[in-house]
Chains A and B, each alone.
Chain A
Amino acid sequence: MSAIAEPTPKNFELLPKDGDGELLEVAMGPHHPSTHGVFRMDVVLDGERVVKLKPVFGYLHRNHEKIAEGTSYLGSMPYTDRLDYFCSLTNNWAYALAVEKLAGLQVPERAEYIRVITAELTRLQNHACLIGFLVQDMGASGTPLMYAFREREKILDLFESLTGARMMCNYMRFGGCRCDLPDGWLAQAQKVVDEFPKFIDEFENFLSSNEILMARTQGVGVLPRELAINAGITGPMLRAAGINYDLRKVDNYGIYGRFQFRVPLGDHGDVFDRYMIRVLEMRESVKILQQALPKIPTGPIIDPKTKLRGFRPKAGEAYGRIEAPKGELGFYLISDGGPNPYRYRVRPPSLINLTVLEDMCLGQMIADVVIILGSVDIVLGEVDR
């Protein structure tokens, strides 16, 4: 490889220049408790105000894409669980959808219903926990997060009885799902869904009109609409900025076209809107689940003729995307007709949503950087891949 010309990247000059001696450079992370693991921000402060902020990635990088290019199509399915380890079922779905587009596979009705149900359950537990983490970052130590985790526990129990694993589900397959619902699962799920609005009401009673939460979040970390579109922000963060773009409506992938639900939109694009959008999206997810659970048909969950092992799609390429809880999760696959994908690319919503982190933080207090980052909703397994 010595023949390759050496590109000369200009290292970003983070150190303050001579003359403004009052500036202070702080490395927030990788061990800062608010950074969800291993994320670093190099922040330059003027007093307590942020004048420059550069995110630093790569602490958890394992070259997921290269590993996936060295294994079979099916072999990458369990590995997608590790991208956003909070929402393994939506990761499975995004990958399965891309492969189905590439190979032209049809999904049976029952499997489509199971996919919608598991994806919406995933969204419920992700949003509940995110709010818990966000409030924890604001200093409400422990209690709200534990309330959220109590609900998450119930949903993870459902995942465990369905897939055998609580977090690394590895459940979906190309053209369907791995196994059928166990006896009594639907009744159990119905019970969890019926009880969920009570939890949201309780949560909202404590938080939504809380004076401290409003003081800390309103007008903080405002994201302008034009910037949100141009920077490719997706998911609740985009909708909090007031842009109506939900892939469940736009692409109608799966069977989302059959359900009645609304897309909540924000007005100001600040941290409070991002908090509120997630509360409202949980209510919409409950609505979808209430429609999907009673209507689930009987039938096969996968075409038995689908050849999963030794799966070789025709040469070509496909880009499949879904509305994951964190934003648009896409998979781009190029096949050369072989057993492994020639190119396997994950479009990570968490990484791309961080593009505007600096824009949102400039001029804010250092304590607010923590909540702005919390409201972006990142998981480092996906950011660094």
Chain B
Amino acid sequence: METLEQIKAQIEAAVPGARLEIIPNDSPSAQRSLLVAAENGLAVAKFLRDDPELHLDYCSNATGVDWPEAELTEKIKVKKVVDGVEKEAEEVKKTVRPAYLEAVYHLYSMAKKHGPIILRLRTENRVEKNHLPSLTPVWRSCEFQEREIFDLYGIVFDGHPDLRRILMWDGFKDFPMRRDYVAPDDYEYEPTPHDDVLEKAKQHRAQEVKS
């Protein structure tokens, strides 16, 4: 299979105006990924699936990642002139990473038996601009997985045929997989669908005690 750089060039040729970036991975796995701008997501996905060379017909894994705002510290070497002598000094550079939510897709090819190509799509922020294009029209295997990301992370997938909560109950507020989610002290106080049932049971019990 081609290198990620070659694939990036191919996509840029096929999808005009596509903004792509290779995300490095320094760990021994060396699985680098391709960051795709949200507006190009669907076109890039279609190209990757339909290109006869790549033929990535199988989306194995789709998942969300939450990146809240964080201050990143990075040590960089700076050349400084101290008392007329040039010296290398270490400086700590601080950058603020803006908050965003991310959807990660692992693509393989069943026909050509290669992979993975890892796609990443990022939302603009974690609050109201939490929309991404759904890749379910391209790979059906994303159907339940994107529902799960919506359920647990709160990314809204535009173009998903049936986007609703999958694991949590329908009345649930909040998104439990986010880093800043605080679990309630007592789950009994969560508004469950059984609340009115419990209320009825209480009244029933009171009547029983009376009689």
Interface, chain A (partner B; CB < 8 A)? 1, 3-5, 7, 9-12, 57-58, 61, 63, 65-66, 101-104, 227, 229-234, 243, 245, 250, 313-319, 321, 328, 330, 332, 334-335, 343, 345, 347, 351-352, 354-356, 384-385
Contact = CB atoms under 8 A, between A and B. Distances in A.
A221 to B, nearest CB: 17
Contacts of A345: 61, 63
Contacts of A385: 167
A63 B166 contact: no
A231 B33 CA distance: 22
Contacts of B128: 4-5
B109 to A, nearest CB: 10
Given A7-B156, A245-B110, A332 B61 contact: yes
A58 B61 CA distance: 19
Contact of A352 (B144, B163, B177): B144
A317 B30 CA distance: 8
19 contacts: A1-B173, A5-B128, A12-B162, A58-B168, A66-B176, A101-B31, A102-B29, A230-B57, A314-B28, A316-B25, A316-B26, A316-B29, A317-B25, A319-B29, A321-B60, A334-B65, A345-B61, A347-B61, A354-B144
Interface stretch (B5-13, B39-47, B135-143): B135-143
Chain B at the A interface: SS class: loop
Nearest to A319: B106
Nearest to A62: B167
A317 B61 CA distance: 14
Interface string B42-84: 0000000000000001111101010000000000000000000
A317 B164 contact: no
Q: Which of A65, A230, A334 has most chain B Cβ within 10 Å?
A: A230
B133 interface: no
Nearest to B161: A12
Contact of B31 (A9, A245, A317, A354): A317
Given A314-B26, A316-B25, A355 B143 contact: yes
Contacts of A321: 60
A47 B147 CA distance: 31
A11 B170 contact: yes
Given A9-B150, A102-B29, A316-B29, A330 B140 contact: no
B27 A57 contact: no
Nearest to B169: A58
B141 A232 contact: yes
B139 A352 contact: no
A17 B118 CA distance: 42
Contacts of A313: 27
B150 to A, nearest CB: 7
A335 B127 contact: no
B81 to A, nearest CB: 34
A144 to B, nearest CB: 31
